[in-house]
Amino acid sequence: MTGNDSWIRNFVDGKFVEPIGDDGLEKRDPATGAVLARVDVAGADLVDRAVESAAEAVGGWSHTPPGERAELLRRTARRIEERFEEFVAAEVADTGKPIRLARELDVPRAIANFRAFADLVVATGEDAFFTDLPGGRRALNYTVRKPLGVVAVIVPWNLPLLLLTWKVAPALGCGNAVVVKPSELTPSTAVLLAEVLAEVGLPAGVYNVIHGAGATGDRLTAHPGIDGVTFTGSSATGTKVMANVAPRVRPVSFELGGKNAAIVFDDVDLAEAVAGLSRSVFTNTGQVCLCTERVYVHRRIFADVVAGLADSARALRLGSPTDEATTTGPLISRTHRQKVLDYLALAEQEGARAVVGGGIPTLGADLDGGAWLEPTLWTGLTNSDRAVREEIFGPVAALIPFDTEEEVIALANDSDYGLAAAVWTNDLRRGHRVAQAMHVGMAWLNTWFLRDLRSPFGGMGLSGIGREGGAASLHFYTEPTNVCVQL
């Protein structure tokens, strides 16, 4: 993946590119702060080469029969299974997440992504309609879908392998070539996937990886050879990508930020709801776009939910990511931790009371150099406070009481974001009613983070543009041509 030294290389036209010079970005262990490797930054010339390589390769790949492309996706899934622990180790080293989370979520979901889209690309039919014409004649309209071409794939640092394969599997399955820019903080699994795709026979140039920060992404998304952009990341970066793409009017798929709400009614099974809330607030140290940062609880059970969720937070085990007993890892970097700490200070100024957490833990040994933060719960905030309105992206949530269904629907929908929500109630009629009233792309009822990969995923407002998953992904990565024949 990185050769015989500590460099993480770019991958262009089926080959790893040797670094030029000694410059590069430091890749640090989030758990300790130690430098693990250097990331070779792709300059403008290498970005151009990657796009040109993809453009040269896409013609042959796009004409490969769908069944053969699907079989390559299945071989990829099998090869990831064979190299399972390598992917786990790379993901843990990059992100600092607990090893059991990588084993139970990230790598299995990557495998599932390839298998799901292998089935979908050969099972999804096209539209066809007969039209009656004057005089008894008819016309046939049918649609054929063709690959977009060269797609820029930009993925974030929180779930790098999961989100990379969520985009790359349908893109390749539909016959596109891709130029991938992983986060400069978490580049390893994108490079490891390059090895796997070469091993299973993907033609050179169809999958390329370039490394770098904002300048690299700007060069890629503004490149005239790019036919579409799929991006997951912050809303602020999404607006920059949109500005780069706008002059050429290329299609985009954006999954951006969230300020997700959970609604807890007073008829719930308290233990079940608290367990679900704890998962939704603290999974991956709160660094998931779907994590809950606003918890609205019926006033009659507010104290009980606050106490139960605080107990759950205290029970989380912070520690070495490679320890099987660890449940909670560090934040991605000390820079990101400072951003979260700034929000903790802001919340205190706005009147927040920390029920639990709010500081930096002392873990001893090498871990004190990492980006650790105590899981934190607040009361005392309102919907008008910035800490309740702005995405924080950490193990943090505000708990706010409510009295009526109408009130809590208004509170939950009072957001510039619209990604996800969760409703907890034993009254299923009310549950369906409230879930359908949420201005979000995905609403859960008595669960969280459960999905069918065939269903559409995405958000409204500052949470994104378009949908991914199932037919939505296949439609984004292809362009339709309608053929009309008078019979």
pLDDT digits (tens, 9 = 90+) for 163-208: 999 999 999 999 999 999 999 999 999 999 999 999 999 999 999 9
pLDDT at 300 over 70: yes
pLDDT digits (tens, 9 = 90+) for 356-380: 999 999 998 899 999 999 999 999 9
Cα dihedral 284, 289, 291, 296, rounded to 10, equals: 160
pLDDT digits (tens, 9 = 90+) for 312-354: 999 999 999 999 999 999 999 999 999 999 999 999 999 999 9
Residue 345 lies in a domain: yes
Q: Can you give the CATH number for the domain in which 300 is found?
A: 3.40.309.10
Same domain, 267 and 215: no
SS3 162: helix
Structure confidence at residue 428 as a pLDDT band (50, 70, 90): very high
At 353, list the tokens: 């009371």
Same domain, 156 and 301: no
Same domain, 177 and 208: yes
Q: Which segment of 279-283, 363-367, 474-478 scores lowest on mean pLDDT?
A: 363-367
Same domain, 68 and 213: yes
What is the identity of the amino acid at 121? V
Q: Which residues pair with 467 in a beta bridge?
A: none
Same domain, 30 and 88: yes
Q: How far is CA 269 from CA 306, 362, 424, 426, in A?
A: 15, 35, 9, 8
Same domain, 207 and 331: no
pLDDT digits (tens, 9 = 90+) for 139-172: 999 999 999 999 999 999 999 999 999 999 999 9
pLDDT at 22 over 90: no
Q: Write out the residue range of the structural domain in which residue 33 sits.
A: 7-256+463-486
Q: What is the predicted pLDDT for the residue at 125?
A: 78
Could you tell me what percent of the chain has a pLDDT over 90? 97
pLDDT digits (tens, 9 = 90+) for 54-103: 999 999 999 999 999 999 999 999 999 999 999 999 999 999 999 999 99
**118: buried, middle or exposed (CB in 10 Å: 19+, 13-18, 0-12)?**
buried
At 340, list the tokens: 């979260």
pLDDT at 263 over 70: yes
- How many folded domains does the chain comprise? 2
What is the identity of the amino acid at 378? W
How far is Cα 144 from Cα 431, in angstroms, rounded to an integer? 40
Same domain, 19 and 54: yes
Same domain, 228 and 350: no
At 302, list the tokens: 């507010």
pLDDT at 5 over 80: no
Q: What is the predicted pLDDT for the residue at 114?
A: 99
Same domain, 174 and 297: no
pLDDT at 1 over 60: no
Same domain, 239 and 192: yes
At 339, list the tokens: 């951003």
Q: What is the predicted pLDDT for the residue at 180?
A: 99
Q: How far is CA 22 from CA 38, 315, 347, in A?
A: 9, 45, 43
| Average model confidence (pLDDT) across the chain | 97
Q: What is the predicted pLDDT for the residue at 2?
A: 45
Mean pLDDT for the stretch of residues 436-440:
99
SS3 143: strand
Same domain, 264 and 286: yes
Structure confidence at residue 123 as a pLDDT band (50, 70, 90): confident
Q: Can you give the CATH number for the domain in which 155 is found?
A: 3.40.605.10
Mean pLDDT for the stretch of residues 132-142:
95
Helices 214-221 and 235-245, packing angle to 10 deg? 40
Q: What is the predicted pLDDT for the residue at 250?
A: 95
Q: What is the predicted pLDDT for the residue at 3?
A: 43
pLDDT digits (tens, 9 = 90+) for 227-238: 999 999 999 999
Q: How far is CA 80 from CA 8, 116, 172, 207, in A?
A: 19, 15, 16, 16
Which residue did the predictor score with more confidence, 23 or 64?
Answer: 64
Same domain, 235 and 293: no
How far is Cα 330 from Cα 338, in angstroms, rounded to an integer? 12
pLDDT at 4 over 50: no
**373: buried, middle or exposed (CB in 10 Å: 19+, 13-18, 0-12)?**
buried
pLDDT at 444 over 80: yes
Structure confidence at residue 21 as a pLDDT band (50, 70, 90): confident
Residue 396 lies in a domain: yes
Residue 1 lies in a domain: no
Q: Where in the sequence numbering do the catalytic residues fall?
A: 255
pTM for this structure? 0.96
Q: Which segment of 18-22, 103-107, 190-194, 264-268 scores lowest on mean pLDDT?
A: 18-22
